[in-house]
Amino acid sequence: MDICVYYDEKSEKILDILPHAIDTKVKFIIEKMWTQVIPRKILIALSSEEQYNASKLKQIVGHSMSTIHDTLRKLEDAELILTEVIYEGNKQRMIRPQLLCVTKSPKYRAQLKRFFQGMWVDTGKTKLVLDFLNLNHKKFFTVEEISARTKIPVDEVELLLTNWDSQLTRGLSGFLKEVPFEKKVLYRGRNE
């Protein structure tokens, strides 16, 4: 997935769409779909799994199957999702997202946590992130993918993972514990 939509969890307003060099038509389509409740709920739900079927989306979104199918058709026409018909036992339509939707903490909260980096450790959320990584240990994930799958704001996931680089955190939590995951950082230039 090359597109990531960052949104505020409470207001559900889009904060940013990356990459910034995204085609303006695509950005307009994303923003238009986002203003509609059902497409927004579907896009958010699809971000938490690699794929869903229409029945599962119906349970999550809470609308009729005809409304779900109509919305899926619109999202597929907009190229925001991919659908594939598979035959496992019975015929199923599997839906995959073409973008990730992740939450971000409010700026002041993110800055406060950054200020106390190394001393601020949310053990519950850290365990959730590490459990997810251990369960899927054969793949590398971006911070955004981890955020989408664990439903923890992206800036918090980043902070939780970077805390393992802090000697202060590692020193306080045991005798310099070994980092419990392999880290690979990805960067890409912006051609503007």
3-state secondary structure the chain: CCEEEEEECCCCCEEEEECCCCCHHHHHHHHHHHCCHHHHHHHHHHHCCCCEEHHHHHHHHCCCHHHHHHHHHHHHHCCCEEEEEEEECEEEEEEEECEEEEEECCHHHHHHHHHCCCCCCCHHHHHHHHHHHHHCCCCCCCHHHHHHHHCCCHHHHHHHHHHHHCHHHHHHCCCCCCCCCCCCCCCCCCCC
Compute how many other C-beta atoms are within 10 angstroms of the C-beta atom of residue 96: 14
What class is the 3-100 domain?
mainly alpha
pLDDT value for 81: 92
Answer yes or no: is pLDDT of 51 > 70. Answer: yes
Name the phi and psi angles at 81, rounded to 5.
-140, 160
Going by pLDDT thresholds of 50, 70 and 90, the confidence category of residue 89 is confident
**Average pLDDT across the chain, whole number:** 79
Which comes out higher in pLDDT, residue 188 or 158? 158
Residue spans per domain, the chain: 3-100, 105-172
What are 57-85's pLDDT values in tens digits? Answer: 888 888 888 999 899 999 999 999 998 88
Answer yes or no: is pLDDT of 187 > 70. Answer: no
Within 8 A by CB and 6+ apart from 55, the residues are 65
Half-sphere exposure of 56 (CA within 13 A, CB side): 13
Average pLDDT over residues 137-146: 85
pLDDT value for 145: 87
pLDDT value for 75: 94
Answer yes or no: is pLDDT of 184 > 70. Answer: no
pLDDT value for 178: 63
What are 143-153's pLDDT values in tens digits? Answer: 888 888 888 88
Weakest-pLDDT range from 1-15, 108-122, 142-156 = 108-122
pLDDT value for 117: 47
pLDDT value for 156: 84
